[in-house]
């Protein structure tokens, strides 16, 4: 079966997502984790050091400025599940308005970022990367702030890592995930609607809701 952007979106709508074993592996398989990682949007955990890094605004933030660059940054690590076909599919989803990125810039250099897919009020986080200290954490904080302000209700991280747990991520059962997903797909949210928040505002809003 040929994987198309429409089929990819259908997969997300029923709770599955694609992966490849490695960059050079042409085969793609669907994943349906028994336990799912999510970050509750009102429960993002910001350490004092991360708050300071965000407030410093030593790197500038953009939205959808270089989606392909973010995907490529996520795929450049030694072990990756992003092969050429997956990369092209997500770039196609971005062009269709269903996939989005947050970028961190150090001058003209792409320093880090995060990307994912939006459906209804669900955002499916795919991957993030850093080329500068704290860049992916700062991008994630800006992403959570944007999702909250845009009216999203579910932030799916697929799996729970120790890194995500330190930022407030939790695991839920497959059944609970499907319940939350079904509710989120009944709503509507616009990822591009909020303005890019300042570092001070992002920290303040998170502090008010945590």
CATH number of the domain that 120 lies in?
3.40.630.70
Q: Which domain range does residue 166 map to?
A: 5-209
Sign of CA dihedral 124, 38, 57, 197: positive
Confidence grade of residue 209 (pLDDT, cut at 50, 70, 90):
low
104/74 Cα distance (integer angstroms): 13
**Signed CA dihedral, 131, 137, 142, 146: sign only:** positive
Segment 14-68, tens digit of pLDDT: 999 999 988 888 889 999 999 999 999 999 999 999 999 999 999 999 999 999 9
Closest CA to 8 of 88, 75, 71, 77: 88
Read off the pLDDT of residues 80-122 as tens digits, 9 standing for 90 and up.
Answer: 889 999 999 999 999 999 999 999 999 999 999 999 999 999 9
Q: pLDDT category, 205, cuts 50, 70, 90?
A: confident
pLDDT at 206 over 90: no
SS3 call for 207: helix
Per-residue pLDDT of 173-186, as tens digits, reads 999 999 999 999 99
Q: Residue 60 phi/psi, 5° resolution? A: -85, 155
The larger pLDDT score, comparing residue 205 to residue 157, is at 157
Encode pLDDT of 132-164 as tens digits. 999 999 999 999 999 999 999 999 999 999 999
Contacts 24+ apart (CB under 8 A), 139-142: 139/61, 139/102, 139/103, 139/104, 139/112, 139/113, 139/114, 140/114, 140/167, 141/44, 141/46, 141/50, 141/54, 141/202, 141/206, 142/54, 142/61, 142/102, 142/196, 142/197, 142/202
CA distance 126 to 47: 23
- From the list 39, 16, 28, 64, the residue with the least C-alpha distance to 141 is 39
State the pLDDT confidence band at 131, using cuts at 50, 70 and 90: very high
* Other beta carbons within 10 Å of 170: 15
The number of domains in the chain is 1
Average pLDDT, the chain: 94
Contact 113, 103 (CB under 8 A): yes
156 φ/ψ angles, rounded to the nearest 5 degrees: -90, 125
Task: Please answer whether residues 55 and 199 qualify as being in contact, where contact means their C-beta atoms are separated by less than 8 angstroms.
Answer: yes
Six token digits for residue 43: 């429960």
């Amino acid at each position: 079966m040929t994987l198309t952007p429409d089929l990819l979106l259908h997969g997300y709508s029923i709770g599955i997502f694609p992966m490849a074993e490695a960059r050079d592996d042409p085969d793609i398989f669907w994943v349906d984790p028994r336990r799912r990682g999510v970050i509750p949007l009102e429960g993002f955990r910001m350490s004092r050091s991360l708050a300071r890094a965000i407030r410093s605004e030593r790197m500038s933030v953009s939205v959808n400025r270089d989606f392909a660059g973010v995907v490529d940054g996520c795929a450049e690590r030694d072990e990756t599940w992003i092969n050429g076909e997956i990369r092209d599919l997500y770039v196609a989803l971005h062009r269709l308005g269903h996939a989005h990125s947050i970028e961190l810039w150090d001058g003209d250099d792409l320093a880090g970022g995060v990307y994912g897919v939006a459906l209804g009020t669900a955002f499916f986080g795919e991957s993030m990367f850093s080329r500068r200290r704290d860049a992916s954490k700062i991008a994630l904080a800006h992403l959570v702030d944007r999702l909250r302000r845009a009216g999203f209700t579910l932030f799916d991280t697929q799996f729970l890592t120790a890194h995500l747990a330190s930022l407030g991520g939790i695991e839920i059962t497959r059944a609970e995930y499907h319940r939350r997903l079904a509710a989120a797909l009944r709503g509507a949210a616009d990822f591009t609607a909020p303005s890019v928040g300042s570092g001070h505002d992002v920290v303040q809003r998170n502090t008010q809701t945590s």
